[in-house]
C-alpha cells in the first residue's frame, strides 16, 4: 500500500488527480489545501465537494492561504470563478479539519516515515512551512512529486515562469534546496500532450458519470487554454504528474539535474533555472521530466473515466 498526501489549489485538474490516486488504490492520507488558482475558501469547498462525488471521507486540511513572503494573484480567468468553470459548488456533508496542513504533514511524515509520498500539484508553501517546522521530514518523506516550472523558459503566468512556482518562488527555493527526492514535471513539457478534439469527443461519447463530470469541470479550462495558450486541446499538468507518481512508466525520458529557483523581484521571478550542462558542479537535486509516454497516460485517464 502506498501512502500519499495530495496538496491542492483545487481546480479541475487537482480534482481528477485526487480521483486518479483513489482509483488506483493509493491510500490518500490527507488532502492539504494551499493558495493558488482561485479563492481559498472555494479551493476547500471544491476538495470536499469532489470527495462527496466519489463517496470518500478523506481528511481535508486547510493550510497556507498566501505565499511565504510576497503577494500573488489567483487565476479565475483560467479556471473560472469556481475553479471548475464559473459555478461555485459547496459540499453538503463533509467539513474541513481544524488541524492545519503544516501540522498534518509533519505528523503523517512521522507516522509513515520512509513511506509517505507528497504530490505537489500546487504552489509549494505548505511543504516549505512543514519543512521549516520540522526539517526531519526530508528523510521521512520518501518522494516529492512536483508539477511546476519550465525547462525551456516558456511560462504561463509570465513569459518564463510557470504558475505554481511563480506564486511562491521563496517556498519553491526552500523545497528544491532541502534535499527531498524530487521529480519535477514542467509546464512546457506537458503542453505537448493535450486532450485534442478527437479525444475530447471520444470522452463525450463515453456517457459514464465520470466522463460527464470530466467534460463539465474541464470545459472552461479547455476553452481558455486553446484560445489563450495556443494549446491544441485540454492540458493536464496536474493529472500527468499524478499519473507519473502512480506509475513511473508514464515517463518516457527524464534527466537528473540541478534545479534552482529565481526569487528576485525581477523579470524572471519564479523561473526554474536548470543547470543542464552541470556548470555549477552541484549534485543533482531533481529528476526533470522531458518526455511523456502519452499512450500510457491516456490508458490511465480512460480507465479513470470508466470508473462509474
Ligand atoms: Ca493544481
Task: State pLDDT tens for residues 55-86.
Answer: 999 999 999 999 999 999 999 999 999 999 99
The mean pLDDT value for 198-219 works out to: 98
Handedness of CA 89, 93, 98, 103 (dihedral sign): negative
CA of 29 to the centre of ligand 1 (A): 18
Q: How close is the Cα of 44 to the center of ligand 1, in Å?
A: 13
Integer Cα distance of 89 and 97 in angstroms: 19
Among residues 173, 171, 141, the alpha carbon closest in space to that of 258 is found at: 173
CA of residue 143 to ligand 1 center, whole Å: 18
Which residues make Cβ contacts (< 8 Å) with residue 246, sequence separation at least 6? 20, 21, 24, 26, 300
- Separation of CA 34 and ligand 1 centre (Å): 9
219-227 average pLDDT score = 98
Compute the distance from residue 280 Cα to the ligand 1 centre, in Å. Answer: 31
Q: How high is the pLDDT of residue 207?
A: 95
Instruction: Give pLDDT, residue 297.
Output: 98
* CA of residue 150 to ligand 1 center, whole Å: 15
278 CA → ligand 1 middle, Å: 30
Spacing, Cα 277 to ligand 1 middle (Å): 30
What confidence score (pLDDT) does residue 142 get?
98
Looking at the DSSP assignment, which residues form a beta bridge with residue 31? Answer: 6, 60
247 phi/psi in degrees, rounded to 5:
-140, 105
CA of 1 to the centre of ligand 1 (A): 24
Mean pLDDT (whole number) for 51-57? 97
195 C-alpha vs ligand 1 centroid, how far in Å? Answer: 17
Distance CA 118, CA 109 (A): 10
Output the pLDDT for position 176. 98
Amino acid at each position: 500500500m502506498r501512502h500519499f498526501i495530495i496538496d491542492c489549489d483545487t481546480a479541475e485538474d487537482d480534482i481528477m488527480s485526487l480521483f486518479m490516486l483513489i482509483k488506483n488504490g493509493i491510500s490518500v492520507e490527507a488532502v492539504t489545501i494551499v493558495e493558488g488558482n482561485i479563492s481559498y475558501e472555494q479551493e476547500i469547498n471544491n476538495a470536499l465537494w469532489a470527495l462527496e462525488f466519489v463517496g470518500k471521507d478523506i481528511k481535508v486540511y486547510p493550510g497556507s492561504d498566501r505565499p511565504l513572503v510576497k503577494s500573488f494573484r489567483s487565476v479565475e480567468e483560467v479556471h473560472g470563478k469556481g475553479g471548475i468553470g464559473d459555478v461555485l459548488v459547496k459540499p453538503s456533508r463533509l467539513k474541513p479539519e481544524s488541524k492545519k496542513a503544516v501540522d498534518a504533514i509533519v505528523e503523517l511524515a512521522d507516522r509513515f516515515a520512509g513511506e509517505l509520498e507528497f504530490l505537489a500539484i500546487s504552489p509549494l508553501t505548505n511543504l516549505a512551512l512543514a519543512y521549516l517546522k520540522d526539517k526531519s521530514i526530508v528523510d521521512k518523506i520518501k518522494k516529492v512529486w512536483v508539477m511546476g516550472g519550465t525547462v525551456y523558459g516558456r511560462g504561463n503566468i509570465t513569459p518564463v515562469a510557470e504558475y505554481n512556482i511563480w506564486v511562491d518562488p521563496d517556498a519553491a527555493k526552500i523545497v528544491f534546496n532541502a534535499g527531498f527526492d524530487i521529480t519535477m514535471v514542467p509546464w512546457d513539457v506537458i503542453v505537448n500532450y493535450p486532450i485534442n478534439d478527437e479525444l475530447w469527443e471520444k470522452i463525450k461519447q463515453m456517457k459514464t458519470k465520470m466522463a460527464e463530470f470530466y467534460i463539465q469541470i474541464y470545459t472552461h479550462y479547455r476553452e481558455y487554454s486553446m484560445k489563450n495558450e495556443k494549446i491544441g486541446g485540454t492540458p493536464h499538468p496536474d493529472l500527468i504528474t499524478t499519473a507519473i507518481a502512480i506509475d513511473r512508466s508514464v515517463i518516457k525520458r527524464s534527466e537528473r539535474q540541478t534545479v534552482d529557483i529565481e526569487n528576485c523581484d525581477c523579470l524572471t521571478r519564479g523561473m526554474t533555472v536548470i543547470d543542464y550542462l552541470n556548470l555549477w558542479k552541484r549534485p543533482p537535486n531533481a529528476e526533470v521530466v522531458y518526455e511523456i509516454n502519452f499512450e500510457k497516460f491516456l490508458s490511465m485517464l480512460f480507465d479513470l473515466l470508466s470508473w462509474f
